[in-house]
Structure 1
Amino acid sequence: MRKATTGNYFEDFTTGLEIRHAVPRTVTEGDAALYIALTADRHPLHCNAEFARALGFERETVNDLLVFHTVFGKSVPDVSLNAVANLGYADVRFGVPVLPGDTISSTTRVLGRREARGGETGVVWVRTVGVNQRGEEVLTLIRWVLVNKRDPESPAVEDDAPEVPESVAPDALYVPEQLDLSAFSAGITGGRAWWGDYEPGERIDHVEGMAIEEAEQQIITRLYQNTARAHFNAHALQGTRFGRRVIYGGHIISVARALSFNGLENAVRVLAFNGGTHSNPTFAGDTLFAWTEVLERIDLGRDDAGALRLRLIATKDADPATEDVPLRVTDERGRERYHPNVVLDLDYTVLMPKAPG
C-alpha cells in the first residue's frame, strides 16, 4: 500500500469529479497579523477592531484575500500539485465574513478539461467552495489550471471545456447583513473619495512600489499550506523553463491590492473577482507596482454604499506612474500579448461607501 501521494495528473481528472480537501484550517489572529507583515495591507476592517465594531461586526474580520488564499491553498494538493501554471479565475464570490477562530473547509468539483497542444499537459477547470464551521459559504471560485500528464503518450480526451461567466452579476454580490455604514469614518481610513467620486475610465496610479523577496513568498505560501512545487522545489525546477521558483500568483494579487489602498482607501471589502490573469511570472527580486482603471459604478439599491468594478494591473520592475508600460504588445510573430512587465490583470468588484448626507 502506497502511503504518500504524488498528486493528481491530467488523466486523473474527470468532469463531475468531486474532491473533499483534507485538513480544514482554523484561521487565527496570528495568521491575520502575519498576513499584514508580509503584504503591508492597511484596510482597517481587517486590522482595527473598533472600526469593525462600529460597522456592525463582532470584531475585525479576516482579510478577504487571506480567506481566498486559504480556500485556494486547501485545493492545491489535489488540484494543482502537478500544475505548470494557474491560468485564470472567474465567478469568484466572497460570502459570509470570516472572523479569527473560524474554521474553513474546502471542496472542489471538476467542471471540464481540454488537452493542450503537444499532448504533455492539459487544462482542467474546477470550482472550489469554502465554508465555515457552520456550513456558511465564505468563498466560491472557478479557476483553470494547466496540469502535467502522467504519461504524455496517454490517449487524448474529449474536449468538454465549460463556458465561464464574464462577470459576477450585481444581484449575486453578497453584502454582509450586519453591515452598518452610518458610523463609517473616513478619518480612520484616510480616504477622501466616495462611490460617486470614481468615474468609469478613470485611472489611478497607486504610487508606491514593493520588492518581492524569496523569504516572504516562502513564508506566506506556507501560511496558506499551498504545496505547489513550482513555489518550493528549487531542485526539481532546475531543468524547467524558468529554472527557478516562481512567486505564487496569489501573493501578487495581495501585494497589488495592498498597494491599491493609496487611492481606494474607503473600499470596505472585496465582493468578487470577475476574471483574472497571471500574465507573466514574477521572481524574487522583482519590484511590483500597480494601477487601477475604474470600469463601472454599480448601484446596489442602497443609500449608504455602491459597488465599483475595477481593473487592477500589476507590473514588475516598471513604474507605470513614470514609465510607459503598455498593457499589450505585438510579438515578432504578429501575436498580441501582455507586455512582459505586466504580471497581473484582475477584474474585481469592491464595496464602496457613498458620501454621507
Structure 2
Amino acid sequence: MSFPLSRRAVLAASALLGLAATPAFAQDKSITVMIWGTTWQLAVEQIAEQFTAETGIDVQMIAQSSSGESLAKLQAQRANPGVDVWFTTSSVASRAVKDDGLFAKIPVDKLSHTGEMIDGSYNEGWVAAYAYPLGIVYRPDLVDGEITSWEDLWKPEFDNALAVPAPSTYQGRIVLIASELAGGSIDDVDPGIKKLEALEPNVAFWYTSDAQARQALANGEVKVLVAPPSGAKTVRDQGVDVTMISPKPAAMMYDVMTIVKNGKEDMAAQFIDFMTSQSSQQIIAEKNQNMPVNATASVPEKLAGQYPHPEDTITYDEDKVNADFNGWNEKFLMTVSQ
C-alpha cells in the first residue's frame, strides 16, 4: 500500500524549503542521482517517477558499483561533479561530507518528515533512505529447530556451517556485535575479537563478497548466513526458503543520501525530503525489503519477523567506527583469520 502525496502538499513542502524561486529550479528542472543499480530498479525508480509527476523535476540516474569508487570520482571531478544526490553508506558519508567544498549541508530544519523518522537516521551531513540490521539468515530445511539468538551460532552443531562477514565488510559490525555479547563495547573490542576466535570452528568462511556468501547459502554449502535483509531477499528470489531474525544486539546500518554541490542543491533537498515521506518509505519496505526510516510506514506482515524490536537495536557513532575500524580489522587478522 502507498500513500501518494497531493500536489498541494508537495508544493507546500517546496515553498517551505524555499525551492520554487531558485534559478536552478526555474532553468533546469532535473537532477542527477548516483545510486546502486539494484536499489534504483527495486524501489527508487518508482519513487522518482512519483516525484517527477508531483514536482515536474526529472530524475536521471547514474549507476555505481561501490561507494569508494564513486567518492573518488566525485572528488576528481569536484569542479563539475555532474551529480546532485549521492547514495552511499552512513559510514562512508560520515567521512565524505566533511569535505564542505564538495558536499552541501542538509537543511534539516526545513525537512517535512523528521518528526516521523527514527532516531539516528538523519543529520546535517546525510539523511537515511532506509535502515538495515546485521542479522542471522538460515535454511530451516538444514537447521534442526530454530535459531533465536546470536549465542546459538557458537553451538557445536553449527560446526563449519556459517558464512560470516569479515570485519572489512559492513564496517566491522560483526566485531561490535561480538563485543557487546562478550561484555565489551565500541571502546573495547578485545572481548569481541576473542569471542570471534571462539566462533572460528563453526565458520566455513569469513566473506568479503556478498554474492559469494548468498550463493553458498542458496546452494546449501552453508546453513547460516550472517547478513542484512538484502541477503535473505536475494536467496528467496532464487526460490530457496530462508528464515531471518535480528536478535539483540541488532547493529543498525543505513544507506543514505547526501547533497553534492552541483548548482541544484535546492532540488536535491526536495528529492531527499520526498524520499523520506510515508509513501516513499512504504515502497522501500515492500520492494527493497529494508526497514523504513519513517516510523509511520509499515513493513509487510510476512517480513516483520526479520526486523528487530526497537529496544534491541543499537546505532553506533560512525566517526568513532571510522577512526578505529582499521585497528579492529588488524586485530581480527592477527588473532582469528591467520
Report the structure, 1 or 2, having the larger helix content: 2
Q: Same fold, TM exceeding 0.5? A: no
TM range (shorter): under 0.3
Q: Which has the higher strand share?
A: 1
TM-score, normalising length from structure 2? Answer: 0.25
Q: Which of 1 and 2 has higher RCO (CA within 8 Å, sep 6+)?
A: 2
TM-score by length of 1: 0.24
